Structure 1
């Protein structure tokens, strides 16, 4: 199986790559659109020092603004047609991108010990190790 990602937005307006993005620790078994603005964003409160708080479906969340490392861009992709076989090639389309996002946790404040934060730190460490 191979994964193909097509980007027809290369020369598109830069605003497409400045999407407001949230990383929420949950799994939703649906591929449809969601009216997130009406149910999530209005309740975000800034607690100072970059700490955020919100609720999602009645559950409290603690969050922090995160930035993608310099030289990288996060992308949002969509699969228009899912293959019938597990080992079939898959095709995704770039729908937008982001340079920063809000990282949320259910049960604790985001910290340097979280796997996502460690992964972002590893990009800088890997570059330093492999410099010429």
Structure 2
């Protein structure tokens, strides 16, 4: 299967000003239709004062949500891609186009405070770990390290 990404660097940088407001919800929603998020969800989001305005509250289908704004790590650009045509069985080529970029998103948990044990935060921490593991090490540094421990 081939995947074609439809965007260029100029378009990627221009879409940053679009100002997308993304929500990462702990739910699977079987649907692809337009949702009036501003009217039926964003209007009910409140900042909680006991948490110094860091935590927001809302509800989804009667379940309480606790959320926090999380930024995209420095040096990275986050993009929203949309499939241009419906994927059908046997279709071998897919095409995705850039619909916008974002620099932060609202991460929600059901009835639990956002923390470092959340999957999104752990994934973002792995970026730092992978950067540390891929830093080139020269022979002089290896000799210094081994001499210090002998």
Q: TM-score w.r.t. structure 1 length?
A: 0.88
**Structure 1, gaps ≥5 residues long:** none
**Structure 2, gaps ≥5 residues long:** 137-150
Aligned residues: 131
SS of residue paired to 2:17: helix
Report the alpha carbon displacement of residue 49 of structure 1 after superposing the two structures with TM.
Answer: 4.9
CA contact (8 A) 1:69 1:124 kept: no
1:79-110 CA distance string (max 9 Å, x none):
12123225612111110011111100113211
1:14 to 13, 16, 35: 16
Aligned to 2:94: 90
Asked if 1:80 is matched to 2:84, the reply is yes
CA contact (8 A) 1:75 1:94 kept: yes
Aligned to 1:33: 34
RMSD (Å) for aligned C-alpha atoms: 1.8
Q: C-alpha distance in 1, partners of 2:97/2:46?
A: 33
Runs of 4+ in 1 over 3 A off after TM superposition: none
Normalized per residue, the structure richer in helix is 2
Aligned to 1:44: 45
SS of residue paired to 1:12: helix
Q: C-alpha distance in 1, partners of 2:26/2:16?
A: 28
Report the alpha carbon displacement of residue 14 of structure 1 after superposing the two structures with TM.
Answer: 3.4
Q: C-alpha distance in 1, partners of 2:53/2:135?
A: 33
**Greater mean deviation of Cα atoms: 91-100 or 27-36:** 27-36
Which structure has the larger Rg? 2
Q: C-alpha distance in 1, partners of 2:16/2:78?
A: 13
SS of residue paired to 2:121: helix
